[in-house]
Structure 1
Amino acid sequence: MGRTISPYSRQMLQIEENLSDFRRALRKADQEIFDDLIRVSKLQVQAGVMASLPYPIDSMLLSMMIQLKKELNELTEIKRKLTEETKL
């Protein structure tokens, strides 16, 4: 007998494929952030083995995470510049 559900890593690839149109509609900078988030999720395969298939809210949550990641990147850059200025 074969498996009744596909392996989690294959499900992750399917999710990534399902979101390819969503990704393509993002601005270039946001596509890079989206790709970073996908890379991070792939690093956590072991933690996500018990995850279920995505729901429609996934794209909404990804949009929110992309915005939060963008703001975090901006704050990190501001902090880096301030740290450099205080060293001078």
Structure 2
Amino acid sequence: MGRTISPYSRQMLQIEENLSDFRRALRKADQEIFDDLIRIAKLQVQAGVMASLPYPIDSMLLSMMIELKKELNELSELKKKLSKELNLS
């Protein structure tokens, strides 16, 4: 018996290809952000493989949101730290 589901990494590439027209329609700066988000999803490929979700885009989007939330948390902490330093001066 053959495989009924293609590997997750191949499904990710297919999604990226399916979104190529969407990407092309974006402004240049937004294309770069789109590319960054795709890179983020690819960094989390192991988690996506383990998720066993029927739609790989779900785990890709979750991976992107997790990374963005981490960055947001870091910026928030930096803002608090800088705010404290400015209030003490």
TM-score tier (shorter): 0.5 to 0.7
SS of the equivalent of 1:5 reads coil
**Could you tell me whether the CA contact under 8 Å between 1:9 and 1:45 is conserved in 2?**
yes
Match of 1:42 in 2: 42
Higher helix share: 2
One-letter amino acid of the counterpart of residue 14, structure 1: Q
One-letter amino acid of the counterpart of residue 52, structure 1: P
Match of 1:52 in 2: 54
Identical aligned residues as a percent: 87
SS of the equivalent of 2:39 reads helix
**Runs of 4+ displaced beyond 3 Å:** none
Q: How many residues align?
A: 66
Find the aligned partners of 1:35 and 1:52 in 2 and give their Cα distance: 24
The higher radius of gyration belongs to 2
Q: Could you say if the C-alpha distance between residues 2 and 52 of structure 1 is closer, same or farther in structure 2, counting changes exceeding 3 Å?
A: same
Match of 1:6 in 2: 6
